[in-house]
């Protein structure tokens, strides 16, 4: 729980109500508190207009791509949402505030009423094709294209007020229009309006936009009013739920990992961007992938990390770069990312359509357990990702980020399988079967991602470590009190500004968040020199919610992690079941051996794991839930 100042509290009643209810963020709730609205039991799949067309989008381009999705069979494989991005709005009509569509670009919208074009015929058409329809807006008064576009051509026209096509001051009106009147099923809410229209903005200075004091700064979390940003996004979520009472919607947040959103989006919407925009360049893919790969515990059915749309079909991911295109797809599936095609499907070659259509890899992304892959091996050039599937099998991706081939020793233990029993694997590109015991050598080409589905004998015969099942864990309070940028996220050789200035700096807050099989700052989990290859690392003063559905036992070995620099304060570990205290350790300090804690959870639906300390600098006090596991099923 981030602290909110009294002044901010006075200005934002709804947030303060939330804060009052949860005055003690470590108090057990007895219920799963992450976002449960909308329809995102698995990550959304479909298509988005931005990467292919930017603001030069029109009805023919969208419908042609939608038609290809149907004709190619991708719709049957799950690609359902056809999302219109920035560029559709002509202006806001005054004084009634109605949004006017660019009818010249979307002719069907003017078919019934030229004065007030409506997207209803357009969404009807997509629905009749068996598809769903998505729309775009911005949380501020203006959109991102209005801040960044080099030309005026595709931007809203008219007076400053008429150009204000964003949600700010119009949340109820616009959301009702999109979902009730126009029949959209999905909304992406961007954030440039909250950050790019300060008094020094060129558009403001040129008299094209009204100044709005920025409340968000992607490069400086300390210049960001996290509570106000969160409050606005919660208000939009509430408006969507009112406008779409059947719950058939997807709410996508697009603030690029700013405002510490990587920690709280799971409580507010269905998908949330973890980074700035992807581009069709390998280095950029690495940035976006890195922004999500260590955040497995912050994603679960209903709310997913979004490293941005697929850029397969352009630049480093075009048909001449099938290795990179396949890596992009495999990695996004392992991350449980939304699979939103960003290509102009009128022109996409079959070789790339086959990448989108790999049903075995789609199945990993769409697996009902919703476990984002965790990192089993990590180095600058080579990573091994492992993901537990609902049938107990594992998906394994071996990702060569670098420029040379890499010899890999894949070990059964990296999959949390026994190393004296055979592991059978199917290569999900070639469909070749391979088998090994203990370990196997593989050679992975530069930029290649080998991806397998594996079957073996689990280390825990009748259950799983929690770190194998991040989809059932919610870090309801992760202990972070002072969000700072994660220094491990790859910084591109040339960012948006080329090589001007000093280069990219760390900018995505969340360093020190909860991690699977790792201490919060990346060290091996270790208590009093005993290492734990499996476990959850988190800061003190934290609470994890864990869904249980039939396991009989929860057990862990707990203590202050050796990576803690606070050697003074003690931590008490408590396990709750459906809100009742089941077990508690005595106070444990740095250097003391881990204590076993184990409870019967046979009829318990929600287990809560609380690490409480009198310390206030949680950042100096990482703790370990070593070998934390649900067993007995
Ligand atoms: C960016 C967003 C892109 C796209 C664009 C539209 O902020 O990240 O995905 O929506 O705005 O202008």
3-class SS letters over 534-577: CEEEEECCEEEEEECCCCCEEEEEEEECCCCCCCCCCEEEEEEE
Tell me whether residue 407 is exposed, middle or buried, using C-beta atoms within 10 angstroms of its C-beta: 0 to 12, 13 to 18, 19 or more. exposed
> Which has the minimum average pLDDT: 12-21, 87-96, 194-203, 356-365?
12-21
Query: Does 491 have pLDDT greater than 80?
Result: yes
Q: CA-to-CA distance for 394 and 415, rounded, in angstroms?
A: 7
Query: Does 295 have pLDDT greater than 70?
Result: yes
Residue 488's pLDDT band, with cuts at 50, 70 and 90, is very high
Tell me whether residue 97 is exposed, middle or buried, using C-beta atoms within 10 angstroms of its C-beta: 0 to 12, 13 to 18, 19 or more. middle
148 CA closest ligand 1 atom index: 12
How far CA 311 is from CA of 33, 48, 50, 172, 283, in Å, comes to 33, 10, 10, 33, 13
Residue 492's pLDDT band, with cuts at 50, 70 and 90, is confident
Q: CA-to-CA distance for 335 and 386, rounded, in angstroms?
A: 10
Q: Percentage of the chain with pLDDT > 90?
A: 94
CA angle 620, 623, 625 (to 5 degrees): 165
Q: CA-to-CA distance for 60 and 74, rounded, in angstroms?
A: 19
pLDDT at 496: 77
Q: How far is the CA of 192 from the centre of ligand 1 (A)?
A: 8
Q: What is the DSSP letter of 564?
A: -
Average pLDDT over residues 123-144: 98
Residue whose token pair is 């096509």: 165
Helix, strand or coil, per DSSP, at residue 256: coil
Q: Whose CA is nearest to atom 9 of ligand 1?
A: 277
The β-bridge partners of 408 are 442
Query: Does 548 have pLDDT greater than 60?
Result: yes
Residue whose token pair is 């003017």: 110
pLDDT at 22: 55
Residue 171's pLDDT band, with cuts at 50, 70 and 90, is very high
The mean of the pLDDT values for the chain is 95
pLDDT at 298: 98
Q: Does the CB atom of residue 254 touch ligand 1 within 6 A?
A: yes
Q: Does the CB atom of residue 419 touch ligand 1 within 6 A?
A: no
How far CA 20 is from CA of 23, 28, 414, in Å, comes to 5, 15, 43
* Residues carrying an active site annotation: 190, 277
Average pLDDT over residues 345-363: 98
pLDDT at 499: 86
Residue 11's pLDDT band, with cuts at 50, 70 and 90, is very low
Q: Whose CA is nearest to atom 4 of ligand 1?
A: 50
Query: Does 8 have pLDDT greater than 80?
Result: no
Q: Does the CB atom of residue 50 touch ligand 1 within 6 A?
A: yes
Q: Does the CB atom of residue 86 touch ligand 1 within 6 A?
A: yes
Q: Does the CB atom of residue 324 touch ligand 1 within 6 A?
A: no
Q: How far is the CA of 287 from the centre of ligand 1 (A)?
A: 16
Helix, strand or coil, per DSSP, at residue 427: strand
Q: What is the DSSP letter of 16?
A: H
Which is nearest to 253 in space by CA: 304, 329, 328, 195?
Answer: 304
pLDDT at 500: 87
Which residue of 51, 52, 54, 86 sits with most ligand 1 atoms within 8 Å of its CB, as the best mutation to test the pocket?
Answer: 86
Query: Does 16 have pLDDT greater than 90?
Result: no
Q: Does the CB atom of residue 143 touch ligand 1 within 6 A?
A: yes
Which token pair is 355?
Answer: 């990448």
Which residue of 190, 256, 279, 309 sits with most ligand 1 atoms within 8 Å of its CB, as the best mutation to test the pocket?
Answer: 190
191 CA closest ligand 1 atom index: 7
Q: CA-to-CA distance for 10 and 12, rounded, in angstroms?
A: 6
Residue 623's pLDDT band, with cuts at 50, 70 and 90, is very high
Helix, strand or coil, per DSSP, at residue 599: strand
Average pLDDT over residues 420-444: 98
Q: How far is the CA of 80 from the centre of ligand 1 (A)?
A: 21
308 CA closest ligand 1 atom index: 9
277 CA closest ligand 1 atom index: 8
Q: Does the CB atom of residue 85 touch ligand 1 within 6 A?
A: yes
Q: Does the CB atom of residue 406 touch ligand 1 within 6 A?
A: no
Render pLDDT for 182-230 as a digit per residue (tens, 0 to 9).
999 999 999 999 999 999 999 999 999 999 999 999 999 999 999 999 9
Q: Percentage of the chain with pLDDT > 70?
A: 97
Q: CA-to-CA distance for 35 and 247, rounded, in angstroms?
A: 12
Residue 20's pLDDT band, with cuts at 50, 70 and 90, is very low
Render pLDDT for 561-587 as a digit per residue (tens, 0 to 9).
999 999 999 999 999 999 999 999 999
Q: How far is the CA of 148 from the centre of ligand 1 (A)?
A: 10
Helix, strand or coil, per DSSP, at residue 420: coil
Give residues with Cβ within 8 angstroms of 92, minimum separation 6. Answer: 98, 99, 100, 156, 161, 162, 163, 164, 165, 170
Q: Does the CB atom of residue 190 touch ligand 1 within 6 A?
A: yes
Query: Does 232 have pLDDT greater than 80?
Result: yes
Q: Whose CA is nearest to atom 7 of ligand 1?
A: 144
Average pLDDT over residues 472-498: 92
pLDDT at 4: 39
Which token pair is 156?
Answer: 């809203």
pLDDT at 224: 98
Q: Whose CA is nearest to atom 8 of ligand 1?
A: 277
Average pLDDT over residues 362-379: 98
Q: Is the four-CA dihedral 70, 83, 490, 479 of positive or negative sign?
A: negative
Specify the pTM.
0.96
Which residue of 216, 254, 342 sits with most ligand 1 atoms within 8 Å of its CB, as the best mutation to test the pocket?
Answer: 254
């Amino acid at each position: 729980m981030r602290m909110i100042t009294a002044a901010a509290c006075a200005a934002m009643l709804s947030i303060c109500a939330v804060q009052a209810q949860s005055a003690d963020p470590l108090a057990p709730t007895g219920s799963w508190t992450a976002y449960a609205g909308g329809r995102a039991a698995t990550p959304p799949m479909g298509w988005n207009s931005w990467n292919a067309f930017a603001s030069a989008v029109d009805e023919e381009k969208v419908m042609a791509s939608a038609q290809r999705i149907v004709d190619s069979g991708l719709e049957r494989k799950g690609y359902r949402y056809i999302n219109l991005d920035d560029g559709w709005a002509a202006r806001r009509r005054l004084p009634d505030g109605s949004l006017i569509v660019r009818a010249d670009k979307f002719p069907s919208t003017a078919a019934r009423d030229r004065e007030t074009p409506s997207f209803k015929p357009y969404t009807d058409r997509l629905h009749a094709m068996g598809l769903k329809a998505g729309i775009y807006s911005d949380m501020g008064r203006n959109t991102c294209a209005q801040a960044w576009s080099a030309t005026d051509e595709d931007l809203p026209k008219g007076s400053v007020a008429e150009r204000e096509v964003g949600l700010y001051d119009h949340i109820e009106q616009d959301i009702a229009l999109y979902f009730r009147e126009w029949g959209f099923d999905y909304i992406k809410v961007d954030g440039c309006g909250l950050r790019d229209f300060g008094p020094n903005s060129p558009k403001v200075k040129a008299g094209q936009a009204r100044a709005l004091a920025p409340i968000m700064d992607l490069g400086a979390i300390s210049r960001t009013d996290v509570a106000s940003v969160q409050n606005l996004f919660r208000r939009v979520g509430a408006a969507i739920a009112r406008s779409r009472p059947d719950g058939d919607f997807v709410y996508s947040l697009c603030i690029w990992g700013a405002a510490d959103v990587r920690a709280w989006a799971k409580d507010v919407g269905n998908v949330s961007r973890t980074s700035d925009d992807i581009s069709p360049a390998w280095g950029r893919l690495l940035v976006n992938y890195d922004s999500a790969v260590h955040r497995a515990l912050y994603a679960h059915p209903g709310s997913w990390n979004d490293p941005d749309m697929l850029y397969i079909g352009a630049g480093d991911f075009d048909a001449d770069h099938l290795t990179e295109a396949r890596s992009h797809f495999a990695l996004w599936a392992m991350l449980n990312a939304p699979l939103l095609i960003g290509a102009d499907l009128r022109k996409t070659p079959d070789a790339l359509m086959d990448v989108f259509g790999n049903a075995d890899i789609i199945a990993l992304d769409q697996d009902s357990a919703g476990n984002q892959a965790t990192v089993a091996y990590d180095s600058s050039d080579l990573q091994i990702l492992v993901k537990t599937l609902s049938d107990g099998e594992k998906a394994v991706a071996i990702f060569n980020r670098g420029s040379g081939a890499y010899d890999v020793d894949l070990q059964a233990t990296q999959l949390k399988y026994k190393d004296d029993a055979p592991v059978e694997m199917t290569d999900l590109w070639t469909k070749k079967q391979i088998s090994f015991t203990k370990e196997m050598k593989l050679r992975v080409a530069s930029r290649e991602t080998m991806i397998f589905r594996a079957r073996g004998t689990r280390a825990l015969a009748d259950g799983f470590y929690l770190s194998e099942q991040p989809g059932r864990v919610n870090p309801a309070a992760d202990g972070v009190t002072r969000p700072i940028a994660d220094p491990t996220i790859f910084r591109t050789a040339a960012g948006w500004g080329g090589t001007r200035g000093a280069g990219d700096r760390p900018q995505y807050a969340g360093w020190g968040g909860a991690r699977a099989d790792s201490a919060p700052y990346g060290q091996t989990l270790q208590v009093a020199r005993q290492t734990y290859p499996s476990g959850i690392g988190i800061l003190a003063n934290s609470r994890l919610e864990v869904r249980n559905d039939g396991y009989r036992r929860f057990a862990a070995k707990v203590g202050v992690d050796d990576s803690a620099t606070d050697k003074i304060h003690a931590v008490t570990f408590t396990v709750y079941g459906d809100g009742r205290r089941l077990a508690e350790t005595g106070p444990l300090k740095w250097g003391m051996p881990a204590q076993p804690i184990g409870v019967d959870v046979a009829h318990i639906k929600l287990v809560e794991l609380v690490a409480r300390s009198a310390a206030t600098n949680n950042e100096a006090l990482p703790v370990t839930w070593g070998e934390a596991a649900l067993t007995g099923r």
